Amino acid sequence: MLKKIYCVFDYKCNNNCLHCAVDSEKNCGKIITNQNIDKFIDSLKNEGDFELEISGGEPTCKKEFLYYIERIVQKYPNTRYIVLSNGRNFSNKWLAEKLAELNPLSVLIPIHADTAELHDRISQSPGSFEETLQGIENLYDCDVQVGLKTVINKINYKRMPHLIEMVIRRFPNCPGITINGLDVQGKALKNDKIICINIRETIPYIEAAIDVAKKNGLYITLYSIPPCMVKEKYRKYIGRKHKSNIFTKTPTTDMLKVTLMYGTVDKCKGCVYYKTCTGTWYSYFDYYGTDELKPIRQNND
């Protein structure tokens, strides 16, 4: 049973995204010392087989970022690792090249919209759109696999088909993109009037985005968007629950006390997709309730 272990290097970030669930303002007082990280890396020897997800904040803002990646790779040479990054610092080709030498499984990078105006409005960081795209391009040039994602929200939802078109045009070698539901906590909750929207309202644009991806051969998956909310022909694009994975958080969170923050609810029981459905964020249900859910009792609409 492969464990997925989620490791935060630091909560600092060079973006200030309107929908950030980590909420750097809330976490800025949390200090993850180098001693915390060193102790955590050493503790992984007790975890057996695992896949590491390295995140933040923005992990590349940690000045020791490459040092700790190299230490992990040297200590656990058979371990796969993924970097969750906004991609901006990889606009420095040197950083992209150095990471490539350490052979990550992939780098997962969000793109908020297909235009600089909308992307930078969401990130609240002027110039972030161009830096992110340049970072993605540099990583591809260094033969690093880059997965793209976007979080659907009130600002960008009508642009979903255009975002897919931009990705296909700009990054023809992209292996795939995910469209993710909104986690209504952290900054998203603070900015709810600006950023929050119910999933049902976004569905026509999500389905149109799938059509564009399918037509052009781009692999696309939906997460935290329940299958009961889309038409039947689009349900095959929804990511499924993987029971074999164990998610833990570290180095400052007690692994035994971590609970999943997304899933299904009692109303979902009896739905034909219940066993494989990831549901959505519990924070979303807390904010919007569960009236949008229409459990499917048989394979039709």
> What residue segments make up the domains of the chain, in order of their start?
3-262
Residue 123 is inside which H or E element, if any? helix 116-123
Q: Which fold has domain 3-262?
A: TIM Barrel (3.20.20)
Instruction: Mention every residue, 6+ apart, whose C-beta is less than 8 A from residue 123.
Output: 15, 16, 17, 18, 86, 112, 129
Dist CA 140 CA 129 (whole Å): 17
Q: What is the pLDDT along the chain (301 residues), one digit of tens a residue?
A: 678 888 888 888 999 999 998 865 556 556 788 998 999 899 888 888 889 999 988 999 999 999 999 999 999 998 999 999 999 999 999 999 999 999 999 999 999 999 999 999 999 999 999 999 999 999 999 999 999 999 999 999 999 999 999 999 999 989 899 999 999 999 999 999 999 999 999 999 999 999 999 999 999 999 999 999 999 999 999 998 765 566 777 776 665 555 678 899 999 999 999 988 989 999 999 999 999 999 998 755 4
What are the strands, taking DSSP E only, across 142-198? 146-151, 177-180
